[in-house]
Amino acid sequence: MGFTDQRFNVNLSILFTELPLLERPAAAAAAGFTAVELWWPWVDAPTPEQAELDALKKAIEDAGVQLTGLNFYAGQLPGPDRGALSIPGEESDKFRANLKVAADFAESLGCKALNALYGNRVDGVDPAEQDKLALENLALAAKEADRVGAILLIEALNAPESPKCPIVSAPKAIEIVDAVNAATGLGNAKFLMDLYHLSMNGEDLPEVIEKYTAKTGHVQIADNPGRGAPGTGDLPLESLLDQLSKAGYEGFVGLEYKPGDKPSAEAFGWLPAEARAAR
């Protein structure tokens, strides 16, 4: 087994960002990939003009790639000042306004996974109040995802880079997954297992895989330290993905790493060309 046995997609919000958004799907295709994922591309616009949505849809279709993952609106990404659904006031309102827009866009491209980032703790606001709001909004998100035949992903970030985020461990993310499924009865909330974030938290990755693969809906990777391509750090990513496969994970593995100081197209040397097309 190994990298050649996985189904990879490229996150176009962290790779190929040297290009305009509408040129990135074709660049991923030119690099040999047939599947892509995206953070919500309009950081200041939860409900962009229909022409912008249509242009991105056309760029993805014209490139011949499949959109396999999309974030709901989460504010400014990347960076520590992100997340919306657990922040009272304007940010939560933006998240709710985005739900149908994002779900409809995902459905229009056959995308079956929608990611909802929790959001930071806010000074002066009771954490219990934020958690109550978060569960309400995650339940709404799960219902929107279910409406378009998609799963809802819930991700753990990492404390060193996102110190105000309360979801910074696999067990905590799983707790939220279970709470959303209990609240909705839909069973479509799943864990997004980002091996980079979990490694930054110091978690035992083989143990996380053993315990939580059955509740995992998507996997993302980057090496650590540095959040670069596999082989630039110390994580045994090939063996970890082998373990995931043996544990029954058959979904996509999102490439969510930084290309470094070279063009993104040159950041895939670790992955044989024949392994880049999703099977």
Q: What does the alpha-carbon distance between residue 63 and residue 66 come to, in Å, rounded to a whole number?
A: 9
Question: Which tokens sit at 56?
Answer: 């991105």
Q: Is 49 a catalytic residue?
A: no
Would you tell me how many other CB atoms lie within 10 Å of the CB of residue 130? 21
Q: List, in sequence order, every beta strand (DSSP E) within the chain.
A: 7-11, 35-38, 66-71, 113-115, 151-155, 189-194, 216-221, 252-255
Distance CA 215, CA 193 (A): 10
Rounded Cα–Cα distance for residues 50 and 14 (Å): 24
Beta strands in 126-183 (DSSP E): 151-155
Answer yes or no: 155 catalytic.
yes
- Sign of the dihedral through C-alpha 146, 150, 151, 156: negative
> Which amino acid belongs to residue 127?
P
Element (H, E) at 53: helix 50-63
Q: How far apart are CA 156 and CA 173, in angstroms?
A: 6
Catalytic annotation, pick one of 49, 256, 266, 274: 256
The rounded distance, in Å, linking the Cα atoms of 96 and 230 is 36
8 Å CB contact between 167 and 175:
no
Count Cα atoms within 13 angstroms, Cβ side, for 228: 15
- Angle, vertex CA 127, rays to CA 126 and CA 133, nearest 5: 95
Which one is catalytic: 37, 144, 155, 203? 155
Q: Provide the annotated active-site residues.
A: 155, 256
